[in-house]
Structure 1
């Protein structure tokens, strides 16, 4: 019986879908559904954790491994380059050759790379491990999202699944900041990488028996020219923006990388318009939900990462809080996001994904604007914590809503393309926000003035985007049915 069940769960056909609940019926996940959701969300949480858990540990890591101040950025960039650059390629490969296969391969590679970084003996071995972690993440994120959206059908089930996933994504980034400080102070920087390896060790044995294969029924050829140009273009742009965050936009390598990235991405657009089996379907990009939904996602990720960066400077350099105290403030923010995750599906059901996206952007922008009241007084930490918590809750709502907006109505065979765009937007958003606005906070002589300027620009961009998305998407016809 067990062998028969394993065969049924791993056969090469679309993932089995839970039965959608009747209209008005409560959303109830079966035991197997909950286990599938645990595996997929735990993997996404692990990747979100990796984005922030190492940040606080960088100074000690540099001293231990002999990385100079100018080289420390590569601890982050070595991960960001492949994790963002290969997302679209791996999302498409999952569509064509099997999402489950690529998801499992990514998990195995990420776990092995985390072990390598934990026991790294010099800068080269550490950076190699970080790069391999990035490659593993690029395979895990789009295939994991595709498996989630193809397993749970549109409607309340998918709303709840994406709500839980979005909560863990938002929480993972914040928890990483808190855990990074605690682990580094108590067990050393290597424990932050060991934590990631532990996640992989827990998730990987469960995944094969729970996840069934999902891919396109036909086997078209991979769009190699498109893969080369989009991957090269994303790598170049992410390198330029990551480097600019540390050294500014004036460096020759930054300028060359930006120009090369733009040229390659333009070439990619030309290639996709002429190939029979494109890596990205241009008609998909013409969908209002895909175009405007991704714009909302790009802005919410970019601007929230900028707020976190600016407020980290504010807490530590203006209010002179310790790294641990700063982590506790952000921990309050993360707790608020975790609690609100239970209510996001209800809001989505009442308002619909598009209206929820617009409303979340509006309140996120107003919350960031509320941070303009902070000053040098110690009491400023309280309004700052409250505004950050509200902004984080709305950021979570926007993350879930834009994912639903972009993937709704997309056929299963193209879910890898859609979720590849969703996750690429996420990665690019996290990458571009700090270089574009964070430099204002770091180069202004008066740190408080610089932080205020960043927050004002940030709030204006989010509110403007909310207006554009509202007009671009039009009336949400799914609200009544949700």
Structure 2
């Protein structure tokens, strides 16, 4: 149940992207405002995830999970029935809030249900596989539903899932919360939520306008100031939203950084290959989505293989191995040309890269949540979810800016392959750093002995 909910929420992130022009015509949403269908979701999903992660610890993980699923069902029904832009955008924002509530609650229920070791690794592996498969499946489902039925079914699809979870969940899920309820850090909650909202908005604005746009600059400066204020507030709080001791843990800090890069590189690669398939090769949205179905299969396999890799080389070793293989698979795509025959390489490379990326993501989740008491699992999974959402938001505008710079003097294909090369380089550097960190960690017990 927890895994199916994670898959559904991941699908929601991308399912409407291919249907945006049709949605705009149906609800009279201006072309310039279409991006808010995606932005409203991303803002709330990333901006509130850390706060909801702490609320899960304070008020009960099962309660927040079920409440989030109820909000998802109601918002999806409203979005599917929407005839006005305001109703549609509010529905997408509430879907984002539901995602911010459900994902850390579901992850903390998983991590507190299964003790550290193979069982937790297997559960996190399946969760990561289904979430990543959901992101890539969203494009396929969006194309199919829009072409065969209506874009409204992209919303309605969530309603029976939410109803089923609400009927079965109270019977099978056991409530989980710390024995003592600490106070909510209000100042920390306000500053970190505001900072994350400003950060995601700034990154989104960079992709839509430019990095030197006044809107982008103001948003990113506000994000820096608010997040700095959050750090000061946490250092002075008796009951911090995120205990500073947690942030000082190498596994938490390092794991979240690796997770952010893993999500940023893979999701931005999908963006780059979408440009390639549609604007260079000439594929339509449905053919493009079906091409990425192979990537979805790779992510599922990676989620299954990930726990085995962790047992063999440790969670940090799995992150390193996954990122290094992902770097090689991504680098091979620098050779693509304008002919349709190159799609075979795209299929093979994205499958291999998808497997490797999920191995890294499972390693990241295990690393970022290990060695922590159950009372802090909501915050830990909230941090991990935040890294995931910021990574998803960060990668595309950065790669888009690289493509735009190259296109000014070269062709679109040259811009895409240049950005793919930089993407591969980021994976390579992150993988090498992860490998060094894993070796140092392994050397410590040996030296101690």
Fold equivalence (TM over 0.5) = yes
Specify which structure has the higher proportion of helix: 2
Q: Which residue is 1:6 aligned to?
A: none
Give 1:247 deviation, angstroms. 1.6
Task: Find the aligned partners of 1:123 and 1:248 in 2 and give their Cα distance.
Answer: 25
- Which of 414, 420, 435 aligns to 1:470? It is 435
Q: Deviations over 1:21-57 (max 9, x none)?
A: xxxxxxxxxxxxxxxxxx1111111111011111101
Equivalence map 1:375-390=2 (5 Å): 375-390=337-352
Task: Find the aligned partners of 2:92 and 2:434 in 1 and give their Cα distance.
Answer: 36
Equivalence map 1:79-478=2 (5 Å): 79-442=41-404, 444-445=407-408, 446-475=411-440, 477=442
Q: Which residue is 1:35 aligned to?
A: none
SS of match in other structure, 1:238: helix
In the alignment, is residue 51 of structure 1 matched against residue 16 of structure 2? Answer: no
Task: Find the aligned partners of 1:47 and 1:267 in 2 and give their Cα distance.
Answer: 31
Task: Find the aligned partners of 2:132 and 2:44 in 1 and give their Cα distance.
Answer: 21
Q: Deviations over 1:95-146 (max 9, x none)?
A: 1111111111111011100101000111000001011111111110111100
Give 1:284 deviation, angstroms. 1.0
Give 1:243 deviation, angstroms. 2.1
Give 1:65 deviation, angstroms. 1.1
Task: Find the aligned partners of 1:208 and 1:473 in 2 and give their Cα distance.
Answer: 41
Structure 2 gap segments, 5+ residues each: none
Deviates more, 1:338-347 or 1:426-435: 338-347
SS of match in other structure, 2:292: helix
Structure 1 gap segments, 5+ residues each: 1-38
* CA RMSD between the two structures: 1.5
Deviates more, 1:441-450 or 1:73-82: 441-450
Give 1:476 deviation, angstroms. 5.3
SS of match in other structure, 1:294: helix
Task: Find the aligned partners of 1:290 and 1:113 in 2 and give their Cα distance.
Answer: 33
> Normalising by structure 1, what TM-score?
0.89
Q: Deviations over 1:441-465 (max 9, x none)?
A: 2462511011011101111111111
* Structure 1 moving runs of 4+ over 6 Å: none
Do the aligned partners of 1:288 and 1:473 also contact (CA within 8 Å) in 2?
no
In the alignment, is residue 61 of structure 1 matched against residue 23 of structure 2? Answer: yes
Give 1:309 deviation, angstroms. 0.1
Task: Find the aligned partners of 1:454 and 1:296 in 2 and give their Cα distance.
Answer: 20
The number of residue pairs the alignment matches comes to: 441
Give 1:251 deviation, angstroms. 2.8
Q: Deviations over 1:304-339 (max 9, x none)?
A: 111000000000111101211111110112123223
SS of match in other structure, 1:105: helix
Do the aligned partners of 1:318 and 1:448 also contact (CA within 8 Å) in 2?
yes
Do the aligned partners of 2:127 and 2:303 also contact (CA within 8 Å) in 1?
no
